[in-house]
């Protein structure tokens, strides 16, 4: 399969971005058929999965859905490049000096954070990377005035991510730094660094664009408000976690700039870009998004699905076709006043886990939040479920024991009322971000 260069990807994306719905739908179908025909021919996994299907004439919903667990179990049969096996990729991962380098000189290799327990391994070939770059160049900025000012200020970009991991953001930035070492307009800061060190680096660099996880940016708010951090970016682009509207407003006020996000994942790249009216428009020329129920059946437009299926139309080396994401989305067909012809979506604002205590007892994280919010002594909390019946409570507070007693009383009373028999104990640790991914989750479970 011939690979698409960056200029070709930009030209193609620019053309398709102006198509009417009937035209981009036809283009989408053409690219889907081309992808699944190639996958069936070159991937043993898809050859078996599509056995008995006429993939040249089938509908999207005729194709069986796929998921992370099953695909990773069959990794060596999945890829269309038959020279790549999982053990080769794992050897590549073993050396962090390979971050931002290409496996076999052909593939950028990423892994997801594994926050849901099963990390993915993703190979981005030339076409995949260039399509993502084209979308970013053409559609990442909701407001043209921000793009012009960003260019005027030398495109200085600072990213606060987990710099020592093979994650999408850090790996892509390091690749660009390796490719153009003479350019000093990109700064990667380790999200695990102490806050004073991060503040010092940002003050020295003075970025025109700042990107990080919303939970990390939230920690920078008091620094900017107090004047210890004094930067004036053109744009802040949170990613990797759900961006709460109250946090978006606080960031915009503190830093005096526009704050926008996108919807992306390692497996599909930039799925949707935000317009100036805050709507996430699906990049339908390169990605198919389906909101589905628990049985993978499509739900009507305007209805929230139980999960989401995505199809990456650019990646032929590692095809993701009707790939399951846990995100709950609502897809809208009604036109947007911005004029973008692509449909737009909403994502449920949920980043934490529903805790399962057995016997059908499940507790939503927002219930726990509502219980702890009135305890003003708690500055930050983290609830970690171990097994079915133990909760570890991590607290950031001036009087940890006193705050814990209030938290324990509130949680115990509620959990008893829903018939959950749970041991609640105070951790010696502070609330902390994931040691590898750099992301923060307030409520989650571990085995």
pLDDT single digits (tens) 40-89: 999 999 999 999 999 999 999 999 999 998 999 999 999 999 999 999 99
355-446 under CATH 3.40.640.10, yes or no: no
Proportion of the chain above pLDDT 90, given as a percent: 63
Q: Give pLDDT tens digits for 247-287.
A: 899 999 999 999 999 999 999 999 999 999 999 999 999 99
Say if 6-347 and 355-446 have the same CATH topology.
no
Q: Mean of the pLDDT values across residues 123-143?
A: 94
Q: Is the pLDDT of residue 426 over 60?
A: yes
> From 3.40.50.12780, 3.40.50.150, 1.10.1240.10, 3.40.710.10, which CATH number describes the 6-347 domain?
3.40.50.12780
The residue among 393 and 352 whose pLDDT is bigger is 393
Q: If you average pLDDT over residues 2-19, what whole number do you get?
A: 90
Q: What is the pLDDT of residue 201?
A: 97
Which pLDDT does position 154 carry in this prediction? 95
For residue 117, what pLDDT band results from cuts at 50, 70 and 90? very low
- Over residues 175-197, mean pLDDT: 84
**SS3 per-residue string spanning the chain:** CCCCCHHHHHHHHHHHCCCCHHHHHHHHHHHHHHHHHHHHHHCHHHHHHCCCCCCCCCCHHHCCCECHHHHHHCHHHHCCCCCCCHHHHHHHHCCHHHCCCEECCCEEEEECCCCCCCCCEEEECHHHHHHHHHHHHHHCCCCHHHHHHHHHCCCCEEEEECCCCCCHHHHHHHHHHHHCCCCCCEEEEECCCCHHHHHHHHHHHCCCEEEECHHHHHHHHHHHHHCCCCCCCCEEEECCCCCCHHHHHHHHHHHCCEECCEEEECCCEEEEEECCCCCEEECCCCEEEEEECCCCCECCCCCECCEEEEEECCCCCCCCCCEEECCCEEEECCCCCCCCCCCEEEECCCCCCCEECCCCCEECHHHHHHHHCCCCCCCEEEEEEECCCEEEEEEECCCHHHHHHHHHHHHHHHHHHCCCCCEEEECCCCCCCCCCCCCCCCEEEEC
Average pLDDT over residues 172-188: 85
Mean pLDDT lowest among 149-153, 264-268, 352-356, 379-383? 352-356
Greater pLDDT, 347 or 170: 347
- Assign 434 a pLDDT band (cuts: 50, 70, 90): low
Task: Write out pLDDT tens, residues 335-376.
Answer: 899 999 999 999 875 556 678 888 877 776 666 876 886 787
Per-residue confidence (pLDDT) for residue 31, from 0 to 100: 96
- With cut-offs at 50, 70 and 90, classify the pLDDT of residue 438: low
Higher-scoring residue by pLDDT: 167, 56: 56
Residue 371's pLDDT is 81
**Would you state the pLDDT for residue 2?**
78
Q: What pLDDT does 377 receive?
A: 86
What ranges do the domains of the chain cover? 6-347, 355-446
The stretch 162-178 carries a mean pLDDT of 82
């Amino acid at each position: 399969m011939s690979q698409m260069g960056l200029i070709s990807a930009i030209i193609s994306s620019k053309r398709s971005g102006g198509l009417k719905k009937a035209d981009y739908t036809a283009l989408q179908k053409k690219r889907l058929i081309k992808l699944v025909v190639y996958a069936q021919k070159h991937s043993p996994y898809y050859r078996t999965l599509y056995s008995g299907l006429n993939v040249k004439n089938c509908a999207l919903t005729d194709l069986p859905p796929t998921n992370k667990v099953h695909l990773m179990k069959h990794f060596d049969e999945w890829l269309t490049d038959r020279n790549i096996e999982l053990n080769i990729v794992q050897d590549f991962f073993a050396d962090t000096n390979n971050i931002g380098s290409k496996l076999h000189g052909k593939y950028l290799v990423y892994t997801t954070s594994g926050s849901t327990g099963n990390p993915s391994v993703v190979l981005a070939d030339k076409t995949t990377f260039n399509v993502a770059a084209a979308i970013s160049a053409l559609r990442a900025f909701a407001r043209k005035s921000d793009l012009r000012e960003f260019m005027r200020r030398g495109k200085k970009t600072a990213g606060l991510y987990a710099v020592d991991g093979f994650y999408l953001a850090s790996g892509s930035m390091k690749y660009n730094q390796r490719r153009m070492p003479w350019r000093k307009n990109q700064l990667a800061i380790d999200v695990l660094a102490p806050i004073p060190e991060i503040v010092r680096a940002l003050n020295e660099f003075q970025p025109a664009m700042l990107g990080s996880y919303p939970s990390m940016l939230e920690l920078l708010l008091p620094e900017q408000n107090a004047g210890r951090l004094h930067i004036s970016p053109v744009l802040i682009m949170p990613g990797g976690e759900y961006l709460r509207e109250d946090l978006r407003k606080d960031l915009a006020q503190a830093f005096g700039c526009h704050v926008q996000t996108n919807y992306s994942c390692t497996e599909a790249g930039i799925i949707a870009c935000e317009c100036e009216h805050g709507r996430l428009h699906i990049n339908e020329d390169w990605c198919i998004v389906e909101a589905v129920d628990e049985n993978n059946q499509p739900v009507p437009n305007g209805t929230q699905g139980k999960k989401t299926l995505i199809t990456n139309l650019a990646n032929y080396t590692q095809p993701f076709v009707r790939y399951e994401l846990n995100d709950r989305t609502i897809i809208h067909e009604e036109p947007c006043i911005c004029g973008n012809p692509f449909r737009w979506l909403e994502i449920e604002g949920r980043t934490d886990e529903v805790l399962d205590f057995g016997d059908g007892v499940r507790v939503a994280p927002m219930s726990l939040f509502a219980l702890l919010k009135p305890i003003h002594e708690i500055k930050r909390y983290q609830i970690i479920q171990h097994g079915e019946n133990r909760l570890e409570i991590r607290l950031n507070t001036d009087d940890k024991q006193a705050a814990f007693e209030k938290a324990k009383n509130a949680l115990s009373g509620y959990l008893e009322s829903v018939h959950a028999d749970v041991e609640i104990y105070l951790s010696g640790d502070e609330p902390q971000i994931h040691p590898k991914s750099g992301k923060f989750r307030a409520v989650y479970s571990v085995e």
